Structure 1
Amino acid sequence: MVSRVIPVDPFDLVIFGGTGDLAQRKILPALFRRHCAGQLTGAERIIGAARTDLSNAEYRTIVAEAVRVNAGAKACSGGALAAFLERISYVALDALGEAGWQELSRQLRPAGEAPVRMFYFSVGPGLFGPLAEKLHSHGLANADTRIVVEKPFGRDLVSARELNRTLASHFDEGQIYRIDHYLGKETVQNLMAVRFGNMLFEPLWNSQYVDHIQITVAETVGVEGREEYYERAGAMRDMMQNHLMQLLCLIAMEPPAKFDPDAVRDEKLKVIRALDPVEPHHIVRGQYQARLDPSDPHPSYRGLVCNPRSSTESYVALKAHISNWRWAGTPFYLRTGKRLVNRSSVINVMFKDAPHSIFGAEAGRHANHLKIRLQPNEGITLSVTIKEPGQGGMRLVDVPLDMSFAEALGPEGGDPPDAYERLIMDVVRGNQTLFMRGDEVEAAWAWTDPLIAGWKSRGDVPKPYESGSTGPGDADLLMRRDGREWRGINP
């Protein structure tokens, strides 16, 4: 199966924060890979903008190194990098002052010469408003302009509403692309394809047949390099409120009438609004401890943030319920954490046992299990029950029907685009399906804020867990109390 690459319209893209970590690790390498794939026509202009005083040549040197380090060995070879760098330029610019804005205006093509004009806010949320104001005061934005904003989009409902109001005072909702890179992953989008493109699953996708659903996003890394931010945010704000919430919406939403950005986002919003408040005994918070193994030592979370009394969680697990017709009574277990034993993002859909076993007690209990792997080794596994070969009597065993995307599609499937590649090209096309809408963000915070306020008012302290483990023991108890167990990150 050969993937077809469709070139996009020419565009002018300004990356505010163009010398920053995100631009160098993700945005610029993603654009280069799309160049290598033949999706860029050569008429694009990519302008880095930051406070540092650099020449075009100096900035191109930074971009070249970022591409060599982060674009991947298979991106392309030959003279591709030189060709890519030809469309790169730089403007030294002050987001809060006047310096550099006239030069930026000079570098942008007049309306009509570049059908698409985009501004990527790869900066802190505190600069979203000033940048939006400057774009309008200098006449750089029009009705066709698109802006891309990165998380964190607020730290609570109040700040999210304020950010939305600020952006809405300068841009229509249809011009604002709130990016969550998890939604750009191939398998995340396949959640919709699996559910709504296969008659096999959708009739069973409800509380009558599904026992429970687990969503796990586990990381082996700690908070190194993000200590200041993470101490203010914690796992709940950093991961649960956005990444895991989005996965929950895609796995639980009703079929939209059509594959249209607002139709999809309307259904996701309904899921968030149908979430019940989470009971205090259905939440577990954890904080990783130092790892003393001399072959692979790690400092504790508190040691890294230099706060021996920190109560910020690096792990959170919870049990949620959705009060609607489809999911009433079906629990959703969500967990995410740092310094865990394996890197794994996976959704497990656990179906109920057959209502009656004709094989007797000796056959054991068996239920179908759909495992959707987001990373690493993206793919889908369906566990089915068969007779165990070579045994007397009717002994049953569960076996996987496994589809690894890399194996199933093979080399002809090409090197699939990563999340940032896909999402940036969607901005160029004007497709907002995989981007969060303002009311969706606010609804997520409206559900999250009481959870955070609750554990603060109770004085809850995160449970310690060992670096390189599966998390705090209380998270296992959360499942065992219901006669269930976690799946997804054990070696």
Structure 2
Amino acid sequence: MASRVIPVDPFDLVVFGGTGDLARRKILPALFRRFCAGQTPQEARVIGAARSDMDDDQYRHFVAEAIAEFNDHFHHEEDDLQDFLSSLSYVKIDALGDEGWSELATKMHPGRVRAFYFSVGPSLFGPLAERLHSHGMADQDTRIVVEKPFGRDLETARALNRSLADHFSEDQIYRIDHYLGKETVQNLMAIRFGNMLFEPLWNSQYVDHIQITVAETVGVQGRGEYYDRSGAMRDMVQNHLMQLLCLIAMEPPSKFEPDSVRDEKLKVIRALDPVEPEDIVRGQYLAKDDRAGYLEDVGDPHSTTESFIAMKLHLSNWRWAATPFYLRTGKRMRARSSEIAVVFKETPHSIFDDEAGRHRNILNIRLQPNEGIDLDVTIKEPGPGGMRLVDVPLDMTFTEALGPEAENVSDAYERLIMDVIRGNQTLFMRGDEVEAAWAWTDPIIADWETRGSKPVPYESGSSGPEESLMLMHHDGRRWREVRS
């Protein structure tokens, strides 16, 4: 099944922080893959902008090395690589001064979409936006892309929104969350709103509870200083998990267009109830074997920042009244796994005897690894000996169901960068959405600080603290096993 690639018009894309880790690992390899797919025209130009001393040839060498390292499983022709590299240039620039800005302005082509990717710290968002205007590079076809963290609380998020709004309108600002670019995340909407089978059952009458899990096997080494200022709540729950919650819980939008979708997501965030302290578990991973514990990784033996969090949430609306949502995310977990499990209620009356057991249908949406969807259905176990029931999955693993082409599906950054060029904001967060998420998150963090709450330890390579298991057990439920 060949995927259809629709080329975009020629554009100029400037990557501020063009020599940084995100550009090297994600942005530049993603642009190359789109170039090889034929979606990026030969006339498009990509300009790296950073503080490093480089000329164009040195930057092209830097990008070629990044592509070799982070596209190692992607087959390409040498001619494609050389053509892509020829579209690159570099400007040494001072984000807080005047150096490089005039040179950058001369590289802009009139009449094209201009996209400026702010792959830098949030403190530079405002200065970059201001200088783009003062040097005449901002017009109605200009778009800016900003990475998380978009603030660390409501106050700083509002300040960032104001600083960007001083120079750009909301329809020019693309707040990127790469989770929303994942193929399976977008399939949430296709599953819900494209199938008559599910949407009538997508409510508290039929759904017992919903679990959202994002588990990582890595620790925070290399990011310790940043992570210890943020923790799992700011780094994962306030943005990634919140976005997944919105897509799974939102009402059907009137149309699949940016503001219709984002209006419904905003309603979900505003419907979230405050979370009781007993419905939250925070944890820190311990040292194991030759791997350091969290405290050693961040270099602070007294840190009270969480590397794991589990929580039970409720939405105050008609669709989800009395249906709990369980969220968890953590470092150094048993397996790398991101999934959403919609657990349906048991049948109201079983016609089978007790030996048949009680069973539930579970719709499991796997975001990574092995992207796909499976639905647990109850059937009779084959063989004689009575009516014994067993749950089996109806499995749609993308690479198996859609063939080899599914292995080459574009990654999140490829899709989202092309959406920026096309001017499609559906998969990007709006300013009021970000602020609403912080308005819900801030009181939780403030309560921890007021009470002097400390995370509980958990063993590296486990499913998290025992207390997180009890969070479910108290309700007569259990977490789905974290597995790769």
Q: TM-score, normalised by structure 1?
A: 0.98
Partner residue of 1:482 out of 468, 471, 475: 475
Question: Which residue does 1:262 correspond to in 2?
Answer: 259
How many Å apart are 1:412 and its aligned residue?
4.0
- Asked if 1:326 is matched to 2:326, the reply is no
Contact conserved, 2:184 with 2:372, CA < 8 A, in 1? yes
Question: Which residue does 2:424 correspond to in 1?
Answer: 431
The secondary structure found in structure 1 opposite 2:212 is: strand
How many Å apart are 1:379 and its aligned residue?
0.3
RMSD: 0.9
How many Å apart are 1:393 and its aligned residue?
1.5
Contact conserved, 1:2 with 1:414, CA < 8 A, in 2? no
Partner residue of 1:465 out of 458, 471, 475: 458
Question: Which residue does 2:67 correspond to in 1?
Answer: 67
Taking a change above 3 Å as real, the CA distance of residues 413 and 315 of structure 1, as seen in their structure-2 partners, is closer
- Cα distance in 2 between the residues matched to 1:417 and 1:218: 23
Question: Which residue does 1:411 correspond to in 2?
Answer: 404
Report the AA paired with residue 258 of structure 2.
Answer: P
Question: Which residue does 2:47 correspond to in 1?
Answer: 47
- Cα distance in 2 between the residues matched to 1:36 and 1:414: 15
Question: Which residue does 1:364 correspond to in 2?
Answer: 357
- Asked if 1:199 is matched to 2:192, the reply is no
Partner residue of 1:391 out of 374, 379, 384: 384
- Cα distance in 2 between the residues matched to 1:106 and 1:490: 52
The secondary structure found in structure 1 opposite 2:440 is: helix
Question: Which residue does 2:287 correspond to in 1?
Answer: 290
The secondary structure found in structure 2 opposite 1:79 is: helix
Report the AA paired with residue 193 of structure 2.
Answer: F
Partner residue of 1:212 out of 192, 209, 213: 209
Question: Which residue does 1:38 correspond to in 2?
Answer: 38
Question: Which residue does 2:220 correspond to in 1?
Answer: 223
- Cα distance in 2 between the residues matched to 1:465 and 1:77: 47
Contact conserved, 2:458 with 2:464, CA < 8 A, in 1? yes
How many Å apart are 1:2 and its aligned residue?
1.3
Report the AA paired with residue 312 of structure 1.
Answer: T
Taking a change above 3 Å as real, the CA distance of residues 425 and 75 of structure 1, as seen in their structure-2 partners, is farther
- Cα distance in 2 between the residues matched to 1:348 and 1:28: 33
Question: Which residue does 2:119 correspond to in 1?
Answer: 122
Contact conserved, 1:36 with 1:75, CA < 8 A, in 2? no
Report the AA paired with residue 100 of structure 2.
Answer: G
Report the AA paired with residue 154 of structure 1.
Answer: G
- Asked if 1:171 is matched to 2:185, the reply is no
- 1:165-209 CA-to-partner distances (Å, cap 9, x unmatched) read 110110000000000000000000000000000000000000000
Structure 1 ranges of 4+ moved more than 6 A? none
Question: Which residue does 1:95 correspond to in 2?
Answer: 95
- Cα distance in 2 between the residues matched to 1:108 and 1:140: 7
How many Å apart are 1:76 and its aligned residue?
1.4
Question: Which residue does 1:151 correspond to in 2?
Answer: 148
Question: Which residue does 2:83 correspond to in 1?
Answer: 83
How many Å apart are 1:77 and its aligned residue?
2.3
How many Å apart are 1:402 and its aligned residue?
0.4
- Asked if 1:134 is matched to 2:140, the reply is no
Question: Which residue does 1:280 correspond to in 2?
Answer: 277
Report the AA paired with residue 340 of structure 1.
Answer: M
The secondary structure found in structure 2 opposite 1:40 is: coil
The secondary structure found in structure 1 opposite 2:265 is: helix
Question: Which residue does 1:233 correspond to in 2?
Answer: 230
Contact conserved, 2:337 with 2:483, CA < 8 A, in 1? no
- Cα distance in 1 between the residues matched to 2:133 and 2:184: 38
- Cα distance in 1 between the residues matched to 2:420 and 2:135: 23
Report the AA paired with residue 13 of structure 2.
Answer: L
How many Å apart are 1:224 and its aligned residue?
1.3
- Cα distance in 2 between the residues matched to 1:474 and 1:336: 14
Q: Larger deviation: 33-42 or 372-381?
A: 33-42
Report the AA paired with residue 457 of structure 2.
Answer: P
- 1:354-393 CA-to-partner distances (Å, cap 9, x unmatched) read 0000112221011101000000000000000011110311
Contact conserved, 2:336 with 2:483, CA < 8 A, in 1? no
Matched residue pairs, number?
Answer: 484
- 1:425-451 CA-to-partner distances (Å, cap 9, x unmatched) read 000100000000000000000010111
Matches within 5 A, 1:101-112: 101-110=101-110, 112=111
- Cα distance in 1 between the residues matched to 2:188 and 2:19: 35
- Cα distance in 2 between the residues matched to 1:18 and 1:85: 14
How many Å apart are 1:73 and its aligned residue?
2.2
- Cα distance in 2 between the residues matched to 1:443 and 1:4: 37
Contact conserved, 1:32 with 1:71, CA < 8 A, in 2? no
Question: Which residue does 2:10 correspond to in 1?
Answer: 10
Unmatched segments (≥5 aa) in structure 2: none
- Cα distance in 1 between the residues matched to 2:445 and 2:384: 53
- Cα distance in 2 between the residues matched to 1:413 and 1:346: 19
The secondary structure found in structure 1 opposite 2:78 is: coil
Contact conserved, 2:399 with 2:407, CA < 8 A, in 1? no
- Cα distance in 1 between the residues matched to 2:95 and 2:230: 25
